[in-house]
Amino acid sequence: MAEQESQNNDRLTRGSKNLALWALIILMSVLAIQFLRGADSEFVEITWTQFEEQLDASNVFSVTVVGARGLEGEFESEAQIEGQAVTEFRTLAPFPADSEFSQRLREQGVTDVSAEEAQTGWGTILLGALPWILILVFWFWIFRSMQGGGNRAFQFGRSKAKLISPDTPKVTFQDVAGADEAKEELQEIIEFLKDPQKFARLGGRLPKGVLLVGPPGTGKTLLAKAVAGEAGRPFFQMSGSDFVEMFVGVGASRVRDLFEQGKTHAPCIIFIDEIDAVGRHRGAGLGGGHDEREQTLNALLVEMDGFESNEGVILLAATNRPDVLDPALLRPGRFDRQVVVDAPDVKGREAILRVHAKKLPLENDVELSVIARGTPGLSGADLANICNEAALLAARSNADKVSMDDFEKAKDKVMLGTERRSLVLTEKERELTAYHEAGHAVIGLRVEGLDPVHKVTIVPRGRALGLTASLPTEDRHSYTKKWLEGQLVMLFGGRVAEEMIFGEDEVTTGAGNDIERATQMARRMVTSFGMSEVIGLMAVGDSEQEVFLGREIGHRRQVSEHTAQQVDQEVKRLLDEAHSAAQVVLQQNTELLEAIAQALLERETIDQQEIELLSQGRQLPPPDVPTEPLLGEPQDGGVKAPARPTPRPEGGLMPPPHPATGD
């Protein structure tokens, strides 16, 4: 059907072009005939003065008055006018021919005087009508365009959806890993499209909508491409932003046209990426009111499940902001299924790495399972980036294959940031950074229940002057109060180390980001997780207003001033207790703090094995490769601790995709 419609449009376009071409040919032919007819005439154009001279000389034999002022005639004898022999003439009188002029002609001996009506030539008629012809052609072209002709310049209301053709390179479910449940849900829909009777015989109906929900980079769009490759049915693809235009009503018109195309090709799948651009909550006030978007959403709601049903059209959509979508859009009957595409677990990460590593020549020492265990919280896009960075590093060193060392460097680059060895630090700054990071590392080693310290470095990465990275031994989906309190202690380890070694007057701004994150975590513990005996189990957050009014507009407290004051006091209590606990731990492990700091000053980076040796009081073996000195210009910046878990919208905690490297 799509090919037939395209062929019809092509035929209409060619017909319009042929019609315009023939009209132009006819016009040019008529003008050419008139021109040639005038060129073949024997009459010579002369001026009125030249005519009067010949009339006064009694050299005019006959005169024919054409119309009101035109004159044509013959001379008695050949006249020389401007060096040209003229026998028949044509001129234009400055006044209408009347009885006085006729009397003058008779007085000068003109014996043959006649008159005839002026005849307008086709060329004159066409030239006079040409502007009107052009206007009519222009309006004809506009109407043809609006009615679906070949030119789409004025088709504002037509859908911008792209029909995925069979010739497009296909992505199948074999190219998707780490989302087994989502693949199973979508595979059922594909089977429904291929064999509806298999499900309809027991009263089942075709789902009208499937919403893919998940953080950025988890593979929602990739899953949609796989559905397009597996379905074997027409697949329309467009973005949510394609509906919203400057003119009110255009988006709604495009929604209607999109579903009209879908019904024409039913059964089919329509995929809308980033549907939150058009499906936001209606009547959201300052943050979400937009008449064009709301009209578009209304049209989408009606087309999905209104008075007339669109049988055979499945709407597949993706978003990473399900919390801002309108409830009417999410109800069963419109989006019957919500498929969660979350960050992969360790098995999923290994499967994703294997998919992307198929394209890479790998050394025998590459163990993708080890890389998967060392990348908790990373999405599929992050893992694909690690594989790509490893290939680039191998190519930069002119290697024939990608080694495990390349993968480790790529992992550190993605998770920790790019090394900035061009940034020079003074000896005092290097020493401060070393003790700061050593304080974080000691807390990570000596406080029970914390994640193992993976790497400590004073080489600037990203926007941080130093970094202490911790990696969990297994995927964690919920966190205990003891673990969160340990994170608070570790965040203050760097600041306490600076106070112990250099004194309170010499502390730096390096702990700024640590204090900020500790404050956020403590506030979430008090206001959202119910981990304060004073506040109890009452949630005092205002996340709903943050979504719809926007953080930049402001907050409005949903609690009393007394409760808000208690929240602030509890947050400060948690922070003060964490600071005191960090002081106790570091004072009890002064030798370990000194050992790690000196190792950092000597080697700049120490890994987990070297940290374990130092924690056991053993000496480090000599480094295989000496570290390069830091070069470049000095720059102020904070010394950052490892990234800590960030709150989930549901109220739980999950680790970030990679440790933060500064602000």
Q: Which of 493, 435, 424 is nearest to 459 (CA)?
A: 424
Return d(Cα 162, Cα 142) in angstroms, integer.
24
Q: Which of 604, 576, 275 is nearest to 437 (CA)?
A: 604
Q: Which of 213, 148, 145 is nearest to 182 (CA)?
A: 213
The CA-atom distances, in angstroms, between 617 and each of 103, 445, 610 are 138, 13, 11
Residues in Cβ contact with 354 at an 8 Å cutoff, skipping those fewer than 6 apart = 177, 368
Residues in Cβ contact with 331 at an 8 Å cutoff, skipping those fewer than 6 apart = none
Return d(Cα 372, Cα 207) in angstroms, integer.
36
The CA-atom distances, in angstroms, between 544 and each of 219, 459, 536, 557, 614 are 27, 41, 21, 11, 48
Residues 178 and 215 sit within 8 Å (Cβ to Cβ): no
pLDDT at residue number 154: 47
pLDDT at residue number 547: 38
Q: Structure tokens of 201?
A: 């015989």
Q: What is the pLDDT of residues 613-644, one digit of tens each?
A: 888 888 888 776 443 433 333 333 334 433 33
Return d(Cα 173, Cα 186) in angstroms, integer.
10
Which letter does DSSP use for residue 198 in this model? H
Residues in Cβ contact with 242 at an 8 Å cutoff, skipping those fewer than 6 apart = 160, 161, 254
Residue 121 CA to its chain's centroid (Å): 61
The CA-atom distances, in angstroms, between 244 and each of 8, 42, 74, 323, 477 are 29, 69, 76, 20, 38
The CA-atom distances, in angstroms, between 496 and each of 49, 303, 435, 501 are 113, 61, 10, 9
pLDDT at residue number 477: 77
| Strand pairing report for 235-239 and 209-213 | unpaired
Return d(Cα 96, Cα 101) in angstroms, integer.
9
Return d(Cα 193, Cα 268) in angstroms, integer.
8
Residues 644 and 521 sit within 8 Å (Cβ to Cβ): yes
- Is 437 one of the catalytic residues? yes
Q: Structure tokens of 593?
A: 């703090």
How many Cα atoms within 13 Å fall on the side-chain side of residue 605?
A: 21
3-state secondary structure of 454: strand
Any alpha helices (H) in 265-367, and if so which ranges?
A: 291-305, 327-330, 346-357
Please tell me which residue in 274, 389, 431, 437 is annotated as part of the active site: 437
Return d(Cα 569, Cα 651) in angstroms, integer.
22
Q: Structure tokens of 82?
A: 């401007």
What's at 177, amino acid-wise?
Answer: A
What one-character-per-residue DSSP string does 547-564 give? Answer: HHH-TTT----SS-HHHH
How many Cα atoms within 13 Å fall on the side-chain side of residue 344?
A: 29
How many Cα atoms within 13 Å fall on the side-chain side of residue 372?
A: 20
Q: Structure tokens of 222?
A: 């990739």
Measured distance between the N- and C-terminal CA atoms of the chain, rounded to whole angstroms = 55
What's at 6, amino acid-wise?
Answer: S
What one-character-per-residue DSSP string does 626-653 give? Answer: PPPPP-S-----PPPPPP--EE-TTS-E
pLDDT at residue number 30: 61
pLDDT at residue number 427: 85
Provide the sign of the torsion angle of the four alpha carbons 501, 505, 508, 512, taken in this order: positive
| Strand pairing report for 453-457 and 605-607 | antiparallel
3-state secondary structure of 236: strand
Say how many C-beta atoms besides its own lie within 10 A of residue 334's C-beta: 19
- Helix crossing, 493-502 with 561-588: angle to 10°? 60
Return d(Cα 419, Cα 72) in angstroms, integer.
97
Q: What count of residues does the chain have?
A: 663
Q: Which of 599, 623, 601 is nearest to 612 (CA)?
A: 599
Q: Which of 625, 627, 622 is nearest to 610 (CA)?
A: 622
Q: Which residue has the tokens 């909508």?
A: 209
What's at 545, amino acid-wise?
Answer: Q
Side by side, the strands of the sheet bearing 70-81 are: 44-45, 84-92, 70-81, 60-66, 112-116
pLDDT at residue number 20: 63
Q: Structure tokens of 363?
A: 């050394």
Residues in Cβ contact with 285 at an 8 Å cutoff, skipping those fewer than 6 apart = 548, 549
pLDDT along the chain (663 residues), means of 10: 48 57 66 54 78 82 80 82 81 77 78 72 64 75 55 51 64 81 83 77 79 88 83 80 68 81 81 86 58 80 77 85 87 87 88 89 89 86 92 91 90 82 80 92 90 87 81 80 92 92 87 91 91 84 43 55 89 94 93 91 87 86 53 35 34 37 34
Return d(Cα 600, Cα 595) in angstroms, integer.
9
Which string of b and e fits 641-660 if b means at least 16 CB within 10 Å? bbbbbbbeeeeebbbebbbb
